[in-house]
Amino acid sequence: MTHTPEHPTSDATTPSAHDWSATGLATRAIHAGQAPDAATGAVVTPIYQVSTYKQDGVGGLRGGYEYSRSGNPTRDALQEALASVESGERAFALASGLAAEDVLLRAILRPGGHIVMPDDAYGGTYRLVHRVLGAWGVEHTPVNTSDPAAVAAAIQPGRTAAVWVETPSNPLLGVSDIAVLADVAHAAGALLVVDNTFATPALQQPLTLGADAVVHSTTKYIGGHSDVVGGAVVTAPGAVLPSGATGPTGSQALADAVGFYQNAAGAVAGPFDAWLTLRGLKTLSLRMERHSSNAAAVAQFLESHPKVASVLYPGLASHPQHDLAARQMSAFGGMVSFRTGSLDSALAVVDRTKIFLLAESLGGVESLIEHPGKMTHASVAGSALEVPEDLVRVSVGIEDLDDLVADLAQALA
Ligand SMILES: *Cc1c(COP(=O)(O)O)cnc(C)c1O
């Protein structure tokens, strides 16, 4: 990982730093940025619950640390680990997924600018672009990003700063071709941003496929235990601002601009939140295997059930982009959506499960169920992103599969 004085990593304080770049993802998730504590040998990165650092004479910073909005060793450990698992250059940990998206959007867009959005996306992303950035003169065009020709047609060359993609998407589980969309965006001088929250770096590597930046709600699979809200931006090696623009620090590097806004706007991840997220990251690989195998079996069960009209899961042969998903992902993840045929039957199912808890969010060890139209996606009602009223979304956890299937069976009976 590259270092700058403003963003020291744990390497700065740890003599035994090791180059993890040749190791596998599960190894990097546990070790990258997480060398034993230099002072004590503690094998887990300590929670540096501190706001400021004693200077050895004016400007005599130890390891580059000055003030915890600008740099904190626990947050730095998380950032280095996230950059490593996403095959990125630098990572930035923020207070939530939306804070991460906000920082990235500020870095790449200017008033009067334009962004191409998915017509199936996390509702909060749409609200941020439409209601917050819209008031600053940023325009957006929602398109079906599974159709590269539609994306190309929506781009306004010279004006469009970015194409934003969620794959698999939330809540319809559509899959978009990252490598093709990177070419489409780059041909018009725009960046490709991938929200990798659903797949995670364990199943999909967007930066390796050509994306310029990845965003995460680390609240979901990376944290993995429904106990912390957080977000991250990871930039690709060598990524620059769109159309050769110069950022606020005088540099064209995307990472420098994102780092500036992280510190200057200030919605950083706190030390305890960073520590919880790092703890979750260590088991990401293992959890994603179980989430994926449980979800595949749940999707098959639902597809064969007479009361289910259709099942949306990229791992099913019936999914329209199944072949693309099989090329682009190493497994299909833990999210499954299905349609029951009516609003009433959808509401009845989400009301009757006992193990699947009725709750928003996703990606934790416990299974959750929800009605997107009335819950997570209520804010997009009436827009191009409106979801079908008979849609049910489940986040399949890592419990015993038989118990999960039995719970859905009794809820559908
Ligand atoms: C939850 C979520 C977000 C927003 O993240 P927060 O941590 O809730 O701010 C963004 N994208 C996707 C795909 C999400 O599921």
CA distance 303 to 300: 5
- Alpha helix segments (H runs only) across 267-353: 271-281, 284-303, 322-328, 343-352
Final residue before a domain boundary, out of 246, 280, 314:
280
Final residue before a domain boundary, out of 223, 252, 280:
280
CA distance 230 to 101: 11
- Residue 113 has a pLDDT of 96
* CATH number for the domain harbouring residue 293: 3.90.1150.10
* 407 located within any domain: yes
- Residue 17 has a pLDDT of 66
Pocket test for ligand 1, best of 94, 175, 220 (most atoms within 8 A of CB): 220
Token couple for 243: 């159309």
Domain residues for the domain of 252 are: 15-113+178-280
* Partner residues linked to 203 by β-bridges: none
Q: Using alpha carbons, list the distances in angstroms from residue 354 to 296, 375, 396, 404, 409.
A: 20, 19, 13, 9, 11
Residues acting as catalytic residues: 69, 122, 195, 220
- Residue 7 has a pLDDT of 43
Q: Do 406 and 301 share a domain, yes or no?
A: yes
- Residue 2 has a pLDDT of 38
Q: Do 295 and 379 share a domain, yes or no?
A: yes
Q: Do 203 and 298 share a domain, yes or no?
A: no
Q: Which atom of ligand 1 is nearest to the CA of 166?
A: 13
* 167 located within any domain: no
Residue with CA closest to ligand 1 atom 12:
122
Q: Do 275 and 304 share a domain, yes or no?
A: no
C-beta separation of 138 from 114 below 8 A:
yes
pTM over 0.85: yes
- Residue 380 has a pLDDT of 78
What dihedral do alpha carbons 146, 152, 155, 157 form, nearest 10°?
150
CA distance 76 to 17: 14
Q: How far is the CA of 247 from the centre of ligand 1 (A)?
A: 26
* 170 located within any domain: no
Q: Do 62 and 199 share a domain, yes or no?
A: yes
Q: Which atom of ligand 1 is nearest to the CA of 125?
A: 10
The total domain count for the chain is: 2
* 171 located within any domain: no
Token couple for 21: 């770049």
* 264 located within any domain: yes
Token couple for 217: 């709600």
* Phi and psi, residue 35, nearest 5°: -60, 150
Q: Do 267 and 378 share a domain, yes or no?
A: no
* 309 located within any domain: yes
Q: Do 237 and 309 share a domain, yes or no?
A: no
Q: Which atom of ligand 1 is nearest to the CA of 98?
A: 9
Q: pLDDT tens track of the chain, all 413 residues?
A: 334 444 444 444 444 468 898 999 999 999 999 999 989 999 999 999 999 999 999 999 999 999 999 999 999 999 999 999 999 999 999 999 999 999 999 999 999 999 999 998 898 999 999 999 999 999 999 999 999 999 999 999 999 999 999 999 999 999 999 999 999 999 999 999 999 999 999 999 999 999 999 999 999 999 999 999 999 999 999 999 998 899 999 999 999 999 999 999 999 999 999 999 999 999 999 999 999 999 999 999 999 999 999 999 999 999 999 999 999 999 999 999 999 999 999 999 999 999 999 999 999 999 999 999 999 888 778 887 789 999 999 999 999 999 999 999 999 99
36 burial via Cβ count (<10 Å: 0-12, 13-18, 19+): middle
Q: How far is the CA of 16 from the centre of ligand 1 (A)?
A: 35
Q: Do 361 and 386 share a domain, yes or no?
A: yes
What dihedral do alpha carbons 93, 94, 98, 99 form, nearest 10°?
-130
Residue with CA closest to ligand 1 atom 6:
97
* Phi and psi, residue 242, nearest 5°: -65, 150
Q: Do 207 and 301 share a domain, yes or no?
A: no
* 47 located within any domain: yes
Pick from 297, 263, 216, 239: which is nearest to 106 by CA?
A: 263
* Partner residues linked to 142 by β-bridges: 117
Q: How far is the CA of 395 from the centre of ligand 1 (A)?
A: 14
CA distance 214 to 300: 30
* 394 located within any domain: yes
Q: Do 26 and 87 share a domain, yes or no?
A: yes
Tell me which residues have their CB closer than 6 angstroms to ligand 1.
Answer: 96-98, 122, 124-125, 166, 170, 195, 197-198, 217, 219-220, 229, 231
Token couple for 110: 């200017």
Final residue before a domain boundary, out of 247, 280, 313:
280
- Residue 13 has a pLDDT of 44
Q: Do 198 and 88 share a domain, yes or no?
A: yes
* CATH number for the domain harbouring residue 20: 3.40.640.10
Q: Do 75 and 195 share a domain, yes or no?
A: yes
